[in-house]
Structure 1
Amino acid sequence: MRYWWVNQKQTHQHEIAGGYLWSPKRNTNGARNQFYENMREAAPGDVVLSYWEGAIRAYGVVQSYCYDCPRPDGFSKAWDAIGYRVSVNFEVLPRPLAPKAHMEEIRPLLPGIYSPLQRESGNGLQSVYLAELPLALGQLLVALLNAKGTQIAATSDEALLEVVPPVEHAREQWEEHAEEAVRAQSELPTTVREALVKARRGQGLFRENVAKIEKACRITGVSMPSFLVASHIKPWRHSSNRERLDGNNGLLLSPSIDCLFDRGFISFADNGDVLVSPVASQDSLRRMGVDVATQHNVGRFSREQGRYLDFHRREIFLKSG
């Protein structure tokens, strides 16, 4: 279990009631931001302390791994339309905790970099969104909250993994909207529109194009077509119409491997090395067919496939960049 600090400012009104954290993927200038990258490392069971107006005013327990999601209503349109989202079960605290009142205890435990508080004043840093807290600091803040009558119960990611997060529902809504947009493109022939819609499910022309390049699941070695899923490398929802049908933008994967790849628990280097997310359950990976004990190479990918894999590693793979 890890501890996180989130500076929510005006977004707390949406995030606390909605049960989530949302951040853009980049700064407005396109640069990476470590506080947004941290969204990719949150895991079920982690504790989030929510700070606004000078105090920790809510806490939450993470319910899902990070997933990409459109910008919620009410958020600044200066941010990109697609960002990172994590489902969190929040509770508003009846007695907020003002860190300024405890800086003598807190100050020695603040991280050297990416601190959520100004070391001297104890004020929150406006540039911070989601910051990881050192274990000792997280435990101290929880103890201070519990001393005020809040009981933040210890939890475990294994228990929470039984709770089905709204990841698939959110994605389904997003892709259905995109599918409607495809169907409305009257300038495209009907056959092309149908091919694009079928490609969302890994069917039709897209699957045929992938099968010309990939002959078996790269990890399990299964080659029976009826046991394989045609999976987009750069997800359908992010792709242009051309990319949605491009065979280089696909892999034939066993269903369990497709699930892991689609959610970003695994990815691939261009040379074929299997990349494993640090938040993925090692035991679950083994049970699903991924050998985590040794470095596994599945064979080099083509340059065309590499362009799509680069997107997957940057945007989908659950590892801080």
Structure 2
Amino acid sequence: MTAATITSPPANPAILPARGGILSSLSDLFWRRPKFLLLLMLLPPLLWLGIVYLGALLALLLQSFFSIDEFSGMINREFTLKTYSELLLPSNIDIILRTVTMAALVTVASAVIAFPIAYYAARYARGKWKALFYLGVMLPLWSSYLVKVYAWKLILAKEGILGWLLEKLHLTWLLDAWLSLPIVGGNSLSVSFTGTFIVFVYVWLPFMILPIQAALERVPVSLTEASGDLGASPGQTFRHVVFPLALPGIVAGSIFTFSLTLGDYIIPQIIGTSRLFIGQAVYAHQGTAGNIPLAAAFTVVPIVIMGFYLWAAKRMGAFDAL
């Protein structure tokens, strides 16, 4: 074999020839610096969050440090704590306590109702039944918020289907006795504290069911079986095994129910009495009263409450169940 017949080895196919152009240069830059690519991808949402959301909150916070001139009704743009001192008036304290009480009651009731539903879905529902469970939980969220609220107003009205059902069961006296109670009663359920509570629980219940169900699915069945093998009763197994492990899911669901109840003003406006909640107070002071600083100060209240609530929820591991 002569030297002329000897061929050179083929070039390495893994090494591609260099390509020109701006796109190729950018591709090489992103490949060498993946953190730079991540920064470019996160920059638009971060700018949106920082400018629109956090900027609006900052502007709101600044407004709360202004005050209203008592003679002209104009905003006095000088730093003062006068507006926050107005929150300590008995009427405003009553609004804050009423809203926090309602949010706490709605959260507890939602957890009590949601837990057995979520437990059944996590432990026993399989196949098409599991799909039916998710459909049943999510379906109310697909309908209009206002449609649901007005539907409940018709249901809870004195001439509504609930009153008709109680009349057929000869239990009208029980409803009248409940409506005669102070604070929780009224002319009918549709204009009472009780009616507001019922609608709040119905609307926010899916937000409690799903986190609890996700937390219960993480509980190994072997733990409950081991608890039974060691002689624990079903109640002891629930208290010492199932409930502690499901607690982060309950707290995660309570973040939604508690915060959404704190800030909502539509449900108390349609289903409820003349006693205001925080959302209604913000709407009234910003709109009809024109007291924007006091409206901003009222808005800061749920922000502060939820700040402490989220801090406590994080310590309990609630974010792992979201």
Instruction: Please tell me the TM-score bracket, short chain as reference.
Output: under 0.3
- Structure with greater helix share of residues: 2
Q: TM-score, normalised by structure 1?
A: 0.20
- Structure with greater strand share of residues: 1
Q: TM-score, normalised by structure 2?
A: 0.20
Give the greater-gyration-radius structure (CA): 2
- Higher RCO (CA-CA < 8 Å; seq separation 6+): 2
